[in-house]
Structure 1
């Protein structure tokens, strides 16, 4: 039996068979991600974000970030980018299931839940499968 990984934080994605990122709709109608917490969440309605978007920008993180660093040990480089969810928001995200050379501006991307370390999961996007 495989143990399910716990999310790295609360309210990141929906609890559905096909999860989606959980954003918030502010009282003025603006969509935000991540879902606000504490006093900032007052008046905010949960909003299920689109599972598909387009690659807006990207890079490869080749060095370990400053302390307090959280992630797999030893550090392994990873892809990081911005995915535009049309009409909603641009999400900063890890990019998985590809290499830097596969990425192209505007390419279709899809949301996935991905391992973060041995016990936790995070959100990510990957190139959309045909």
Structure 2
């Protein structure tokens, strides 16, 4: 399977998000802007849950390109210590077990596992599930 967008994360076996480090200030952002001001840098695979919500309705298409049959999923804001806060899907956890501050690890997950050619999106899972 391929990534939903080129340059979003590194390849297996240990994928990492690719952020952008501002060459002047050193500030790190995600995703990495495509310009001369930012240098691509691999981000930490470990972080903590900063905030989250449950996506309970199918987003508008376009831009959403996921399955027609919608199943709610958690969307996480994950703090990568000393780097930045990123938004990604939260996987391998029951809604009732989600807790602010829980340790997480980066992974990838198919946007639509039933698609003919599924694409991978960024995700985080509880560190103990890794």
TM-score, with structure 2 as normaliser:
0.89
Structure 2 portions without partners, runs of 5+: none
Name the residue aligned to 1:126: 125
Q: Are 2:7 and 1:19 equivalent residues in the alignment?
A: no
Alignment partner for residue 111 of structure 1, among 106, 122, 127? 106
Name the residue aligned to 1:64: 58
How many Å apart are 1:15 and its aligned residue? Answer: 2.5
How many Å apart are 1:16 and its aligned residue? Answer: 4.4
Alignment partner for residue 88 of structure 2, among 93, 98, 107? 93
Alignment partner for residue 54 of structure 1, among 45, 48, 51? 48
How many Å apart are 1:123 and its aligned residue? Answer: 0.7
Greater Cα offset, 43-52 or 67-76: 67-76
For 2:110 and 2:68, the matched residues in 1 are separated by 13
For 1:102 and 1:91, the matched residues in 2 are separated by 20
Structure 1 portions without partners, runs of 5+: none
How many Å apart are 1:99 and its aligned residue? Answer: 1.5
For 1:123 and 1:62, the matched residues in 2 are separated by 19
How many Å apart are 1:67 and its aligned residue? Answer: 3.0
Aligned length: 123
For 2:18 and 2:12, the matched residues in 1 are separated by 11
TM-score, with structure 1 as normaliser:
0.89
Name the residue aligned to 2:6: 10
Q: Which runs of 4+ in 1 moved over 3 A?
A: none
